[in-house]
Structure 1
């Protein structure tokens, strides 16, 4: 961009953004460009991924964190799978975040309050206030825009320059995948089932393979995704539309069932499937965000199997690990990132993201960076 054009852009302080006004009412608008305050910065966004939770919010699914606090409080600019370059620094921000203008960085999806009992004890990802970029405008909007303000309590990480644009765009979901797999405490002799080969499920397969379990099984209803899971290291893939998952898993485990079951389908049926597939005293790790309640027989968990049920939320302390794995080529976005759209093609992008024609869809803001 020529210098005079850049100066003109800065003077009018507007930018292009996607704004959520309600279910299926997301509009491409010209909005005021953010200004950094003390110990804050503004990013020039490169890419922002469309998450499955974004699709569910767009379609109007009833999703809540608990009580009467909904996921989305419009109007708000959505997007939490973003990264970009430092464009402006407020007073004290360079020292506070340890960054300079031009650095390629990512902020974790949650903006902790740093005051509640969870934040003060280091468990910031369970912050009681729980502001997440792109879902409410309490602290800042999300990343589906040309620019984005990063508040002072955000957790910010630099991205190695050797990491490709597409790989950088999956750092957030990869961090979630790493945290989930770590929650499973996979051992060398474990049989592990990962249910759901969507973007994060496929990253879970790659991360779980690095744990070298005895057997790694992926389950999904889309053969193309299972083929990709196989290329990422799954030893066995199962399409439950065509195969009996319970019979196959039991045949591979002397009739006992898997040691670890990771639920990443986002479907209530995935929960019931997992309770049947996991062995007695096994570990069930729940990651998904559901658009509808899951009804199960709780006696399976206690009386019949005494299962260890574990949740997995966000990607705490995992962003540096994700960046390191990507920089070493141990995890990849290849085959996962399938589509890229400019901001003004939102309607097309969400339609593709909300279908089985894609795996990961990225929204591209104005940036010189390419895949």
Structure 2
């Protein structure tokens, strides 16, 4: 079968690899659509970050080259022994968490507490080996394969994973109905965060986004105000919009020094800055920016127990996801038309590029 494999920075290749067979407790999925994630771009431009290179990942037992792709939907075509909740023909999305198994005698403390996204051996299907969504087929554990309703199209179902990321960030920020928020960046995770905030009852959602069509995407997703950091001092404008105080919670999705600084500066005394972005390297930080006003900076990684909610919210329209998908490409063209588009001069016109191994869907 065809699959896209990461070999090294700037080196992704579409190759023929063996078709997987579902082991005990695993499900084989025929991939319909898979989104190119910001994490995939980080691996392409500045990796390895999550991808094991020098030694095999402790759970997958594999190292680069690995199949990419973790935001995907598809159809079950075969189930392994002992699988009881799924059958061939089921429409599904995969929660791509590679974590301690329930019968693992060396289960880490986080997994024992049910906080599997904090697993000490955390990996992601489509990054750590063992298969991925940029392929015709993949296999994964039954408990992380979720059914989707017939009313949710396969392409929109590929947005479940980034939506779950946004929902986890709201949870980490202890966001409450009626609060105010600043979202830094209007890429895929930024847009998902905007819609999640509005669905959660945010009183005011401000977005920082440089001038591009993404400003329009932010407004369409529910932003009340969009600020261009090239035209205004964002923290000052945020304070003007919040009676001189600052927002309750900020959400940093840009992965930039500037975004990080503004995320902290824009929250009120005692407020919270949530860092959602994945970073390619270290940045500088003055702790006094937090200490003097007892601000909080919290990290958020992936999601836990949120796929069912994300599926329901997309299916019933509480989260519309309209306009998130800006381009669709065939798997064999993923390097040029996918990664090339998202790293090229017109990248700001794009939000989510979906990839399919089935050209009949294009």
TM-score (norm 2): 0.91
- 8 Å contact from structure 1 (residues 62, 292) kept in 2: no
Distance 1:64 1:272, change over 3 A: farther
CA distance in 1, matches of 2:108, 2:331: 36
Matched residue, 1:291: 280
Matched residue, 1:60: 46
Matched residue, 2:96: 109
- Where 2:69 maps in the other structure, the secondary structure is coil
Alignment of 1:334 onto 2:322: yes
CA distance in 2, matches of 1:186, 1:249: 18
Alignment of 1:226 onto 2:194: no
Q: Map 1:253-264; keep pairs closer than 5 Å.
A: 253-264=242-253
- Where 2:66 maps in the other structure, the secondary structure is coil
Q: Map 1:1-371; keep pairs closer than 5 Å.
A: 15-61=1-47, 63=49, 73-93=63-83, 95=84, 98-114=85-101, 115-137=107-129, 140-151=130-141, 155-302=144-291, 304-348=292-336, 349-354=338-343, 355-366=347-358
- 8 Å contact from structure 1 (residues 180, 287) kept in 2: yes
Distance 1:89 1:187, change over 3 A: closer
Q: CA deviation at 1:196?
A: 1.0
Q: CA deviation at 1:201?
A: 0.6
Q: Could you list the per-position Cα deviations for residues 138-196 of structure 1 after superposition, in whole angstroms to 9, with x for gaps in the alignment?
A: xx2111000001135x5221011101222101000001111111222223442211111
Q: CA deviation at 1:251?
A: 0.9
Q: Structure 1 unaligned runs (5+)?
A: 1-14
Q: Could you list the per-position Cα deviations for residues 12-57 of structure 1 after superposition, in whole angstroms to 9, with x for gaps in the alignment?
A: xxx0111111111111111100011111121100011111110111
Distance 1:65 1:296, change over 3 A: farther
* Greater mean alpha carbon deviation, residues 224-233 or residues 184-193: 184-193
Paired positions, count: 348
- Where 1:216 maps in the other structure, the secondary structure is strand
Distance 1:69 1:267, change over 3 A: farther
Q: CA deviation at 1:322?
A: 0.6
Q: CA RMSD in A?
A: 2.1
- 8 Å contact from structure 1 (residues 63, 70) kept in 2: no
Q: CA deviation at 1:271?
A: 0.7
- 8 Å contact from structure 1 (residues 188, 214) kept in 2: yes
CA distance in 2, matches of 1:269, 1:135: 28
CA distance in 2, matches of 1:102, 1:213: 39
* Greater mean alpha carbon deviation, residues 104-113 or residues 68-77: 68-77
CA distance in 2, matches of 1:207, 1:232: 9
TM-score (norm 1): 0.89
Distance 1:146 1:64, change over 3 A: closer
Q: CA deviation at 1:65?
A: 9.6
